[in-house]
Copies of this chain bind each other. A is one copy, B any other.
Amino acid sequence: MNYSVYFEQNREKHLEELKQWLSIPSISALSEHKEDINQAASWLADQLTQAGLENVEIIPTKGHPLVYADHLHAPGKPTLLVYGHYDVQPVDPLHLWETPPFEPSIRDHKIYARGATDDKGQVFMHIKAVEAILRQEGQLPVNLKFFIEGEEEISSPSLLAYLSDGAGRLAADAVLISDTALIEKGKPAICTGLRGLCSLEVAVHTANTDLHSGSFGGGVPNALHAMVSLLASLHNDKGEVSVAGFYDDVETLSPAMKAEFAKQDLNEEKLRTDLGLDTLYGEGDYSFVERVGARPTLELNGVYGGFQGEGTKTVIPKEAHAKITCRLVANQNPQDILDKIERHLRTHIQPGARLEVIKGEKANAFNIDPSHPLLQSAADAFERVYGTRAVFTKDGGSIPIVETFSRLLAAPVVLMGFGLPDENLHAPNEHFHLENFDKGLLTIVEYLKAL
C-alpha cells in the first residue's frame, strides 16, 4: 500500500489519538500541572511502544521526565536522533480562547488546542511516520532514537543536566527536530538559525505598604511611576534597545543573508492586516524577516502593579513587577546581556525606589550552513511532497536545546518544521493546519527513506 493511502485510511484514528494527547494540560511552567506532565509523558511512552520502537523509557529527572526510545536495526546506515517536547505554554488569557485549550477541536481543517503545533502535533507525526514504515515494510531505513522532553518551554534544565552527565546514549549522526514552521501555506522551509534567549524578572519597591493617594499623593514615590520610567528607558523611539553594549556582539547582516531572506518574499502588508496592526514596528532599516531572523530584541512580556479590579482605587502601589525576555543573535552571550541590562536598570532607577532583579533563562543562538547534505536531502523530501523546494530560513524563536545538541553531540541539526507562522503559538487559539499534518507525515517518510 502506498503511504498516501495508508495515512488516509488511518487519518481518523491518528487524529483521535492526537486529541487524547492534546487533552492533557502539560504546562511545564506551572507547578500545579506536575501530574498532567507525568500523564503526558506516560501517554507518549505508550505511543512509542505501540509504534514499534524499542527500549522505551521514561527517565525521571529533578524536573519533568524525559522520554527515550530507539530502533537500531539498520547497520551501516546513519543514526538520527528525533528530538521534540511534550510540554506546552500556559493558556491565559483563558477567556480569549474560542474553544477550551485542552478540549481539542477541529474546525476549517485545523486542530485547535494548546500544543497542537508547538510541539505535540509535530512530535506525534514522527511517531506515526515511523509506525507507518514499520507496519508497511517491517524495518526502518535508518537507525532512529527518540528523545522527547517536558521542559522545552522553561528552557530545558533537566535535559541540560542529563546531557552534561554524558550524552553517549544519544550519539547520532544528525538530530532531527520538527518545532518550526513553513514560510506560509504550501511554502516549506528548513530553519538554519534560531535566536538565543535570556530572561529576567524586575521588581520595584517603595513604601512598606500601599498608600492612600489622597493622604500621600505628591509626597512619596509611586512604585508604578518608577517602573514605567525605568522600563521606558530600555528602548529609544527608533525601536532600538538602549542598553549600553547590547548590540556589541551582533553581526552586521551580510548581502548574502539579505538575499536568502528576500527569497521568503514575505508580504508585509498582508502580515500587518492579518495581525490587525496599524503598522509593523521595529528597528531602523530592516525588513520584518530580517528583524525577526537576524536582529536581537528586548521584550516586556508582563508588567503589573497596583489595582486591576473593576472601578477606581485611589492607591499608591508599594511595588511593581515586570517580566522581560531578550531574543539574541550571532555571538551575543546571554549572561553578558543580562549583566548589561541589570547595569542599565540600576543606573536608571529613580531615587526612592528599590530595585530587585532576578536573572532567569539563558540560551545561545544557533546557526548551521544550508549547504550541508542532510539539509539538502530535507529540502528534496519537501519538494517531493509539497511540489516546491524548501527555502532556508532563520527563525526568530528559540529552541535552547538545539545549540546545545549541535555542540555536545557534534552533529548537524536538521530543523524540518510543519507549523505555520500564524498558528498562535504561545497565544490563545493555538492550532495546527491539517494540510501540514497530512503532508508532514509523507515528508518525514520520504526523508527517512532517502537517507
From B288, B303, B312, B352, give the contact of A29 (CB < 8 A).
B312
Neighbouring B residues of A37 by C-beta, 8 Å: none
A106-114, A169-177, A206-214, A332-340: which one contacts chain B?
Answer: A206-214
Q: List 6 A-B contacts (CB under 8 A).
A: A96-B210, A215-B421, A219-B292, A224-B300, A228-B300, A278-B353
C-alpha gap A228/B299 in the complex (Å): 12
A15-23, A48-56, A369-377, A423-431: which one contacts chain B?
Answer: A423-431
Interface string of A217-252 (1 = CB under 8 A from B): 111111011011101110101000000000000000
Please tell me if the beta carbons of A297 and B218 are within 8 angstroms of each other in the complex: yes
The number of times this chain is found in the oligomer is: 2
Interface string of A346-365 (1 = CB under 8 A from B): 00001111100000110000
Please tell me if the beta carbons of A306 and B309 are within 8 angstroms of each other in the complex: no
Please tell me if the beta carbons of A312 and B323 are within 8 angstroms of each other in the complex: yes
Neighbouring B residues of A325 by C-beta, 8 Å: 213, 312, 314
Neighbouring B residues of A310 by C-beta, 8 Å: 29-31
A296's nearest neighbour on chain B, judged by CB, is B218
In the complex with contacts A292-B217, A301-B317, A306-B300, A207-B312 CB distance below 8 A: no
From B216, B228, B283, give the contact of A231 (CB < 8 A).
B228
Please tell me if the beta carbons of B217 and A396 are within 8 angstroms of each other in the complex: yes
C-alpha gap A418/B352 in the complex (Å): 30
A292's nearest neighbour on chain B, judged by CB, is B219
Other CB < 8 Å A-B pairs besides A213-B299, A227-B303, A281-B350, 20 of them? A30-B309, A154-B311, A155-B312, A209-B427, A209-B428, A210-B428, A212-B425, A214-B395, A214-B425, A215-B395, A220-B280, A222-B299, A225-B235, A281-B351, A299-B314, A301-B315, A302-B307, A304-B304, A304-B308, A307-B323
A168 within 8 A of B: no
Please tell me if the beta carbons of A29 and B311 are within 8 angstroms of each other in the complex: yes
Please tell me if the beta carbons of B304 and A303 are within 8 angstroms of each other in the complex: yes
Neighbouring B residues of A154 by C-beta, 8 Å: 311-312
Please tell me if the beta carbons of A219 and B280 are within 8 angstroms of each other in the complex: yes
Please tell me if the beta carbons of B297 and A317 are within 8 angstroms of each other in the complex: no
Neighbouring B residues of A299 by C-beta, 8 Å: 213, 217, 222, 225, 314, 316
Highest count of chain B CB atoms <10 Å: which of A181, A213, A291, A396 = A213
A313 within 8 A of B: yes
Could you tell me the distance in whole angstroms from the C-beta of A153 to the nearest C-beta in chain B? 8
Could you tell me the distance in whole angstroms from the C-beta of A55 to the nearest C-beta in chain B? 32
C-alpha gap A12/B385 in the complex (Å): 86
A10 within 8 A of B: no
Please tell me if the beta carbons of B429 and A209 are within 8 angstroms of each other in the complex: yes
C-alpha gap A306/B280 in the complex (Å): 19
Could you tell me the distance in whole angstroms from the C-beta of A243 to the nearest C-beta in chain B? 14
C-alpha gap A197/B312 in the complex (Å): 11
A184 within 8 A of B: no
From B278, B314, B424, give the contact of A426 (CB < 8 A).
B314
